[in-house]
Amino acid sequence: MKRDFSALSGEFDLLVCGGGIYGAWTAYDAALRGLRVALVEQGDWAGATSSASSKLVHGGLRYLETFDFKLVKKALTERQRLLRIAPHRVWPLRFGVPVYDDSRNGMLKLKAGLTLYDALAGFPPDAMRHHRFAAQNFLEHFPFLATSGLRGGYTYGDAQTDDARLVLELVAGALAHGAVCVNYASVMTWVEADGKVCGATVRDELSGASRSVRARQCVSTSGQWLATNEAERAWCRLSKGVHLVLPALPTHEAILLTAKQDGRVFFIIPWYGRTLLGTTDTDYRGDVNHVAVEAADRDYLLAAANDYLQSHWTRGDVIASYAGLRVMKQSDAAHPSAASRDWEIKTSANGLHHSVGGKLTSAREDAAVIVDAVCAPLGVSAAGLSGARALPWAPQQDFAAWSAGVTARAQGLGIDAESALWLLRRHGNRVEQVFELVAATPQRAARIVPEVPLIEADLLWCAQDEMVLHLSDLLRRRLPLLILARLGESRLRACAEMIAPLLAWDAERVEREVATCRA
Ligand SMILES: Cc1cc2nc3c(=O)[nH]c(=O)nc-3n(C[C@H](O)[C@H](O)[C@H](O)COP(=O)(O)OP(=O)(O)OC[C@H]3O[C@@H](n4cnc5c(N)ncnc54)[C@H](O)[C@@H]3O)c2cc1C
C-alpha cells in the first residue's frame, strides 16, 4: 500500500471524503463495481471513531428493549455475512449476561429477548445461539463476578473485530481494484459548477500543497465533522463514548452488564489479551477535533464494573483509555442511549451525498446504498459485489484448516501461540509475508513488549507496507499497541528506531515522532 498524492489527477467517477469505515466500504464497493474512485482522509485511516469503537460486530441486544427490531435484524444479517466473507477479520465472541436478584431483566425476559435475537439472526449454528446457566455453572465461565444474589445467567453469540484493521483492509482492497486512496489529504472546499458539486480542493497535509480533484459524484463520509457545517449540523446528534483498557480477566468471553448508576448497558470485552471496559454515552457539544477522556468518564466506568466484580479495579489498573464520537440521526430522546443508531443518506441541493450515523457492523450494507445512489446518475447499472465477495485478505482455503496450518507454521518459527492467533487475524492471507521476515531474522519472532501478543516482525511489516506516515499511525491503528501497553519514552524510541531505516527517518525525525506520540 503506497501513498501517492499526485495520483489524484484527471476526472474520477467518485470522490469520497473521509477514510473511516463508511468511506472505506464506499470506496471498496465502488471500485469493485468498476468506478474510478478517489478516497481521501485528512488524517490516518480510521483515525477517528472507526478506531475508537467497542470493536463489536453485533446485532445490539439492547436495541430489542426499544423495539428497534429492524435495526437489530439488519445488523445481525451483516454479522453473519461478515463472519462468512471475512473469517480472519471478524470472529465469534460469546457474551455472558448474569441475572442478579436486583437485575432489571429477569431470567424469563432475557430468555425471550435472546430467543428473538437468535431468530432475527436466522437461527445461526448452535455456537452462535444462546444457552442458559445456573448460577454455579455461570460462575465457571466468569469466576471473577460477584456471587451474592446471582440467580444464573445466559451466554449468547456475537462477533468481534479489530476496527482499524478492518478499515485498512478495505482501503487495500479499493487500491487493489484501481482506486486512488490517500491519507493525510483533506477536502478543504467542495467545488461546484452550475450549482452541482463536481469535485473538491484537496490539500496534501504533508507538503501543504493543494490540488483540484474533479469527480462526477461526491460523497462525504466525514463522521463527526458533519457537525462542523452549519447546514448539516441540524441532521445529527453527537455523543461521546469512552473505553478503558484494563488487564486480562480469566475468561475468553465478554460480558454484558447494566450500570447500577443509571441502568445503561455496558460491556467487559477481552481483546488482544487485555480487557476493554465501555462505553459511556454522553451528549457532546465540544470541539470535534479534540475528544478527550475525562476523569468523570473513567470513574463512571470503574464504578459500574466494580459493582459486579469480586476484586475491584482501581484507577491504577487502567492501562490506557480512548474516546470517540457517535454520530446519530437528530433525535429529541432525553438521553443519547435512547437515540436510534440507524443510518441515513442525505443529499444536499448541490448533489453532495452525506453519510449520517450508522454502525461499524452495518457499514457495508449502508455503503452499498451510497454506491447505488452514486451509480444511478452515472448511468452505471453494476450491482454491488461487496456482500458476496471474500474480503481481500481472507484465506481462500477452509478457514479452520488454514488457521491450523498457519498456527503450526508460526510455532515452528518460534512465535508464541497467542501472538500467532492475533497474527492470522491481523493479516489473513498476507501472514506469510510476516513469516518471511521472521524466517530471515528469527529474533523478529519476539514480542515488541512482553505483555502484548504482537511481534516485532509485525511492526516491521506494517511500517513498510501499510501506508504508515507517523509513529502514531503504526502504534495506534496498524497495531493498537498504544492502547494495549504503557509505552514510556524508551519503548517508543525503541519502536521508532526499529522502523526508522524503512521510512528513511533520521535521528531528528525519530525524536519528533516520539514526542508527538507521547503528547
Ligand atoms: C464509543 C463507540 C463505540 C462503538 N462501538 C461500536 C461497535 O462495537 N460496533 C459497531 O457496529 N459500531 C460501533 N460504534 C459505531 C461505529 O464506530 C461508527 O458508526 C463508525 O465508526 C463511524 O464511521 P464513519 O466512517 O462514519 O466515521 P469516522 O470513523 O469518524 O470517519 C470519518 C473520517 O472522515 C475524516 N474526515 C473528516 N473531514 C474530512 C475532510 N475534510 N477531508 C478528509 N477527511 C475528512 C476524518 O478524519 C475521519 O477519519 C461505536 C461508536 C462509538 C463512538
The answer to whether the CB of 22 falls within 8 A of the CB of 361 is: no
Give residue 383's pLDDT. 94
Average pLDDT for 464-485:
98
Give residue 254's pLDDT. 98
Average pLDDT for 168-174:
98
Beta bridge partners of 217: 14
Give residue 332's pLDDT. 79
pLDDT band at residue 474 using 50, 70 and 90 as cut-offs:
very high
- For residue 458 and ligand 1, the question of a CB distance below 6 A is answered with no
Out of 3, 39, 54, mutate this one to test ligand 1's pocket (max ligand atoms within 8 Å of CB): namely 54
Q: What is the DSSP letter of 339?
A: S
pLDDT band at residue 122 using 50, 70 and 90 as cut-offs:
very high
- For residue 358 and ligand 1, the question of a CB distance below 6 A is answered with yes
Give residue 337's pLDDT. 78
Q: What's the pLDDT tens digit per position in 187-226?
A: 999 999 999 999 999 999 999 999 999 999 999 999 999 9
The answer to whether the CB of 49 falls within 8 A of the CB of 325 is: yes
User: Rounded to an integer, what distance in angstroms lies between the CA atom of residue 191 and that of residue 172?
Assistant: 28
- For residue 232 and ligand 1, the question of a CB distance below 6 A is answered with no
* 465 CA to centre of ligand 1 in angstroms: 24
Please identify, by atom number, the ligand 1 atom nearest to the C-alpha of residue 239.
53
Average pLDDT for 218-243:
93
CB within 8 Å of 208: residues ≥ 6 apart: none
Given a cut of 90, whether residue 342 has pLDDT beyond it is no
* 47 CA to centre of ligand 1 in angstroms: 8
User: Rounded to an integer, what distance in angstroms lies between the CA atom of residue 153 and that of residue 130?
Assistant: 10
Give residue 317's pLDDT. 98
- For residue 60 and ligand 1, the question of a CB distance below 6 A is answered with no
Q: Which SS3 state, helix, strand or coil, does residue 364 take?
A: helix
- For residue 284 and ligand 1, the question of a CB distance below 6 A is answered with no
- For residue 95 and ligand 1, the question of a CB distance below 6 A is answered with no
Give residue 160's pLDDT. 98
Given a cut of 80, whether residue 338 has pLDDT beyond it is no
Please identify, by atom number, the ligand 1 atom nearest to the C-alpha of residue 279.
1
Given a cut of 90, whether residue 398 has pLDDT beyond it is yes
User: Rounded to an integer, what distance in angstroms lies between the CA atom of residue 150 and that of residue 98?
Assistant: 7
Given a cut of 90, whether residue 234 has pLDDT beyond it is no
- For residue 326 and ligand 1, the question of a CB distance below 6 A is answered with yes
Give residue 247's pLDDT. 98
Cell numbers of 290, please?
479534540
* 398 CA to centre of ligand 1 in angstroms: 32
**Single pTM value for the model:** 0.97
Please identify, by atom number, the ligand 1 atom nearest to the C-alpha of residue 323.
1
Given a cut of 80, whether residue 406 has pLDDT beyond it is yes
- For residue 90 and ligand 1, the question of a CB distance below 6 A is answered with no
Given a cut of 90, whether residue 333 has pLDDT beyond it is no
Give residue 167's pLDDT. 98
* 472 CA to centre of ligand 1 in angstroms: 18
- Measured CA distances, 334 to 86, 223, 343, 366 (Å): 38, 22, 20, 27
Give me the sign of the Cα torsion angle 82, 86, 89, 92. Answer: positive
Nearest CA residue ID for atom 33, ligand 1: 18
Please identify, by atom number, the ligand 1 atom nearest to the C-alpha of residue 240.
53
Residue type, 451: E
Given a cut of 90, whether residue 233 has pLDDT beyond it is no
Helix axes 363-378, 21-32, angle to 10 degrees: 50
Strands (DSSP E) contained in 37-89 are: 37-41, 56-57
- For residue 321 and ligand 1, the question of a CB distance below 6 A is answered with no
Mean pLDDT of all residues in the chain?
96
Q: Which SS3 state, helix, strand or coil, does residue 145 take?
A: strand
CB within 8 Å of 210: residues ≥ 6 apart: 188, 201, 202, 203, 204
Give residue 341's pLDDT. 80
- For residue 21 and ligand 1, the question of a CB distance below 6 A is answered with yes
pLDDT band at residue 335 using 50, 70 and 90 as cut-offs:
confident
Average pLDDT for 98-123:
96
- Measured CA distances, 311 to 144, 210, 296, 302, 317 (Å): 7, 55, 21, 12, 12
pLDDT band at residue 368 using 50, 70 and 90 as cut-offs:
very high
DSSP state letters, 157-172: EEEEE-HHHHHHHHHH
* 114 CA to centre of ligand 1 in angstroms: 28
Instruction: Name the nearest CA neighbour of 482 among 445, 454, 463.
Output: 454
Nearest CA residue ID for atom 1, ligand 1: 241
Give me the sign of the Cα torsion angle 20, 26, 30, 35. Answer: negative
- For residue 170 and ligand 1, the question of a CB distance below 6 A is answered with no
Average pLDDT for 312-321:
98
Q: What's the pLDDT tens digit per position in 295-308?
A: 999 999 999 999 99
Nearest CA residue ID for atom 27, ligand 1: 223
- For residue 336 and ligand 1, the question of a CB distance below 6 A is answered with no
- For residue 361 and ligand 1, the question of a CB distance below 6 A is answered with yes
* 21 CA to centre of ligand 1 in angstroms: 6
Give residue 450's pLDDT. 96
- For residue 17 and ligand 1, the question of a CB distance below 6 A is answered with yes
* 182 CA to centre of ligand 1 in angstroms: 17
Give residue 340's pLDDT. 76
- For residue 20 and ligand 1, the question of a CB distance below 6 A is answered with yes
Give residue 329's pLDDT. 85
The answer to whether the CB of 318 falls within 8 A of the CB of 245 is: yes
User: Rounded to an integer, what distance in angstroms lies between the CA atom of residue 232 and that of residue 18?
Assistant: 16
Nearest CA residue ID for atom 35, ligand 1: 18
The torsion of the CA quartet 117, 161, 78, 344, rounded to 10 degrees, works out to: 100
Average pLDDT for 446-450:
97
- For residue 152 and ligand 1, the question of a CB distance below 6 A is answered with no
Give residue 343's pLDDT. 95
Percent of the chain exceeding pLDDT 70 equals: 100
Phi, psi of 453 (to 5 degrees): -80, 60
- For residue 19 and ligand 1, the question of a CB distance below 6 A is answered with yes
